[in-house]
Amino acid sequence: MKKKVVYVILIITAIGLAVTLFGKRASQDTILAKEIDTLLKNGETQIDLTGVTDFNWNQVSVFGPYTLDEVIEDSMGIKFKGDNGGIDILDDRFLLVFADEKYAIKTVILSRKHGSYSLKDNKFLSVEQ
């Protein structure tokens, strides 16, 4: 009987630890990345992000090469856990980060081959060659 209680406690602890470590993690949205890439290849220079996203978010930011996770957190006023796409060590990409009030929700890797990216009105992604 005591063994069963110990096992139950261990399982509950493991589940709690997993939720703490892996909960509220931003996942990389490769489908959105491909859609944005296709729009840019077709000559678009400004993309309305509210029209291409299928998830809820209230803020978005774009970060250049070598940006650290701490800079993302400070800049957006959120907790950033999850996939940063290697932005902190690679110079061939930008990172688009979507967030709610407290946490990063999704990230999108943007290729530098299209140019430099900026955001307007927390809604429009612009690219300049």
Long-range contacts of 38-41 (CB under 8 A, 24+ apart): 40/114, 40/127
Distance CA 71, CA 68 (A): 5
Q: Is the separation of the CB atoms in 119 and 125 below 8 Å? A: yes
Residue 1's pLDDT is what?
Answer: 67
pTM of the model: 0.81
Distance CA 110, CA 116 (A): 10
11: its two tokens: 């399982």
Sign of CA dihedral 40, 44, 47, 51: negative
Residue 25's pLDDT is what?
Answer: 82
Residue 3's pLDDT is what?
Answer: 72
Distance CA 117, CA 111 (A): 10
Distance CA 70, CA 64 (A): 14
Residue 6's pLDDT is what?
Answer: 65
Residue 19's pLDDT is what?
Answer: 45
Question: How many C-beta neighbours within 10 Å does residue 126 have?
Answer: 15
Ranges of residues in the chain with a pLDDT under 70 are 1, 5-24
Report CA-CA distances (Å) from 33 to 5, 38, 53, 123. Answer: 47, 9, 11, 16
> Domain spans of the chain?
25-128
The model's pLDDT over 61-92, given as tens digits with 9 standing for 90+, comes to: 999 999 999 999 999 999 999 899 999 999 99
Residue 14's pLDDT is what?
Answer: 57
